C-alpha cells in the first residue's frame, strides 16, 4: 500500500540554526512531491514541488531550499532559520490527476 | 491576482442537517477542483475531485458541484454527524499542472 512518512512531528529550533525535514513515500514510483507550509488559521502555501529526481521548482522566494536525492525522498532545508519560518510543514505526493496524499506534518517553532 | 475564497470562517450546524460550503475563485482556469478534510494538528485528507466538464460528484453523504461559469464549487455534507466536525479545504490547479492552490478553509462544527 502507499504511505508517506514525515518527520519529526514537532521541532523547536533557535533563530539562525539549520533545518532539515525529511519525507519519504512508499508504494508508488515517480510521484510528484510537494512541500507546503500552513500558518496558524491560514491556508496551505506551496513552497516547492518536484516531478522527478533532482528537479525542484520553487514557488515562493525565501531562505528555504528543497532537494530530491532519490525518487521517493524529498528534503526541506534551511541554512539559517528565521522567526517567520515557524509553521506547520506538510509533505505530499500525487500521481497524475489524483488527490494528494499528505504526511502527518511537522510543527516547527523558531525561537 | 489569483484568489480562492471559502465562505465564512466557521459553520455551526445541528446534527442531521445539511452543511453547505462555498468555494469561489478568480483568475484561475482549473481543469479540476478538489476538496479535503483537515483535523486539528493533522495533514489534510483527500475527499473528492471534480473535473471541469463534470457538474456534480457524490461520495456517500458528500456532494460537490462545480460551475466554471460562476467560478464556484459547492460542497454539501448531508445528514451531518458530530464526526464530520473538521476544517474543509477547497483546492484547484492552475491549468492542469498538478500544482494545487488551497483556500483557507471553512471550519464545520456539528452539534449533537
User: Residue B10: closest CA among chain A residues belongs to which residue?
Assistant: A41
Q: Is the pLDDT of residue A76 over 90?
A: yes
Q: How far is A99 from chain B (nearest CA, A)?
A: 6
Confidence of residue B95 (pLDDT cuts 50, 70, 90): low
Q: Is residue B30 very low, low, confident or very high in pLDDT (cuts 50, 70, 90)?
A: confident
How many Å lie between the alpha carbon of A76 and the closest alpha carbon of chain B? Answer: 17
Collapse the DSSP code of A85 into the 3-class scheme (helix H, G, I; strand E, B; otherwise coil) and give the result: helix
Q: Which residues contact A49 (CB under 8 A, 6 or more apart)?
A: A32, A33, A34, A35, A56, A57, A59, B98, B99
* Average pLDDT over every residue of B51-67: 95
| pLDDT given for residue B22 in this prediction | 97
Mean pLDDT of B40-44: 94
More confident residue, A48 or B28: A48
Residue B96 CA to residue B112 CA, distance in Å, equals 41
Q: Which three cell numbers stand for residue A43?
A: 491556508
Residue-level pLDDT at A44? 93
Check B49 against A34: CB less than 8 A apart.
no
CA–CA separation, B28 vs B37, rounded Å? 22
pLDDT class of B18 with cuts at 50, 70, 90: very high
Residue B96: the pLDDT is: 56
Q: Which residues of B touch A23 (CB under 8 A)?
A: none
Q: How confident is the model at residue A61 (pLDDT cuts 50, 70, 90)?
A: low
**A90, B43: Cβ pair inside 8 Å?**
yes
Task: Assess whether pLDDT exceeds 60 at residue A83.
Answer: yes
Q: How close, in Å, is residue B22 to chain A by CA atoms?
A: 15
Name the pLDDT band for A21 (thresholds 50, 70, 90). Answer: very high
Percent of chain B with pLDDT over 90: 81
| pLDDT for res B15 | 98
Instruction: Residue window 63-92, chain B: list those with CB within 8 Å of chain A.
Output: 89, 91
B102/chain A closest Cα distance in angstroms: 6
Q: Write the residue in B45, B98, B103 that is nearest to A32 by C-beta.
A: B98
The answer to whether residue B94 scores a pLDDT higher than 80 is: no
Q: How far, in Å, are A20, A63, A78, B46, B60 from residue B106 at the CA level? A: 31, 30, 32, 15, 20
CB contact under 8 A, B31 and A92: no
Res. A12: pLDDT tops 80: yes
Bridge partners of B86, per DSSP, are: B108
Find the closest chain B residue to A51 by CA distance: B98
pLDDT category of residue B37 using cuts at 50, 70 and 90 = very high
**Distance separating alpha carbons of residues B54 and B71, to the nearest angstrom:** 13
Q: Which residue has the higher pLDDT, B94 or B92?
A: B92
User: What pLDDT is attached to residue A82?
Assistant: 95
Amino acid at each position: 500500500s502507499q504511505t508517506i512518512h514525515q518527520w519529526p512531528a514537532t521541532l523547536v529550533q533557535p533563530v539562525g540554526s539549520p533545518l532539515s525535514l525529511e519525507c519519504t513515500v512508499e508504494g508508488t514510483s515517480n510521484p510528484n512531491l510537494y512541500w507546503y507550509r500552513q500558518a496558524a488559521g491560514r491556508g496551505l502555501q506551496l513552497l516547492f514541488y518536484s516531478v522527478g529526481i533532482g528537479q525542484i521548482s520553487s514557488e515562493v522566494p525565501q531562505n528555504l531550499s528543497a532537494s530530491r536525492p532519490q525518487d521517493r525522498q524529498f528534503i526541506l532545508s534551511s541554512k539559517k532559520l528565521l522567526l517567520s519560518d515557524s509553521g506547520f510543514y506538510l509533505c505530499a505526493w500525487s500521481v497524475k490527476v489524483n488527490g494528494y496524499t499528505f504526511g502527518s506534518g511537522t510543527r516547527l517553532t523558531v525561537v | 491576482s489569483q484568489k480562492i475564497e471559502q465562505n465564512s470562517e466557521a459553520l455551526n450546524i445541528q446534527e442531521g442537517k445539511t452543511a453547505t460550503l462555498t468555494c469561489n475563485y478568480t483568475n484561475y482556469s482549473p481543469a479540476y477542483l478538489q476538496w479535503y478534510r483537515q483535523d486539528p494538528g493533522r495533514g489534510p485528507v483527500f475527499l473528492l475531485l471534480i473535473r471541469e466538464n463534470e457538474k456534480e460528484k457524490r461520495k456517500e453523504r458528500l456532494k460537490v458541484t462545480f460551475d466554471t461559469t460562476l467560478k464556484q464549487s459547492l460542497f454539501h455534507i448531508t445528514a451531518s454527524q458530530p464526526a464530520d466536525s473538521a476544517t474543509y479545504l477547497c483546492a484547484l490547479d492552475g491549468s492542469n499542472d498538478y500544482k494545487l492552490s488551497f483556500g483557507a478553509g471553512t471550519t464545520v462544527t456539528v452539534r449533537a
